[in-house]
Amino acid sequence: MPRMARVVLPHMPHHVVQRGHNRQVVFAGAEDYERYLEDLRELSSALEIRVYAYCLMTNHVHLLLGPGEEVAAMGRLMKALAARATRYRNRLEGRSGTLWEGRYKSSPVQTETYLLACTRYIELNPVRARMVPAAGDYAWSSYRQRMGEEDCWIDPDPAYLALADHEAKRRARYARFVERGVPEQELKLMREALQRGQLTGNPRFVDEVEQIIGVRVERRRPGRPSSRRG
């Protein structure tokens, strides 16, 4: 059965996941994480792709990316990130072969309804995995940047900016939003959207995307997102 073609849309956020080959460890120590983030920052800038959120887990990465007019740039970014990490790991361990699964997963995200929820989903990954008790305790996600606890190079997304007129209020509201956790229905929606290469959004969003790409997209019954006002 042929796999579904990846849907990538210009000027729209995309939830992207890439896993280690056979779920193998891809980040063994702090230097591995730091190198990947340096590469992400450098390559995304060169390819004019916005980075709204990220979370690097032991054997996979979650990214929230916004390609510009040239949608193929997102694929080039993921290929380059994987190639650099693989070369580094192979050189370090004196090995050869692939480090990552050959095909990353992605899902366009409806901005006004699910974007902030998707950011929360990404930044709470280490909490759901019981690696840390709170999002701010994890060093390798964008949460600390968003809260002003680290130098910030991620791009502010429109849903986050809409939380308040001042940064201090945005951070406080977003922190409360994250503390509430991800509702089970929302969690299921985002996982299935990635697994099937579908859209993270409501039926109206699906209709709009179908009109843009001229291809029917399988419909799902979306969960009701939590209010982005936190």
**Interval 102-160: pLDDT, tens:** 789 999 998 788 999 999 999 999 999 999 999 999 999 999 999 999 999 999 999 99
The 10s digit of each residue's pLDDT in 44-88 is: 999 999 999 999 999 999 999 999 999 999 999 999 999 999 998
Q: How confident is the model at residue 217 (pLDDT cuts 50, 70, 90)?
A: low
**What whole-number distance in Å separates Cα of residue 153 and Cα of residue 150?**
9
Asked whether residue 226 carries a pLDDT value surpassing 90, the answer given is no
Q: How confident is the model at residue 211 (pLDDT cuts 50, 70, 90)?
A: low
The closest alpha carbon to 112, from 213, 210, 204, 218, belongs to 204
Find the distance separating the first CA and the last CA of the chain, reported in whole Å: 42
pTM here is 0.88
**What whole-number distance in Å separates Cα of residue 100 and Cα of residue 97?**
9
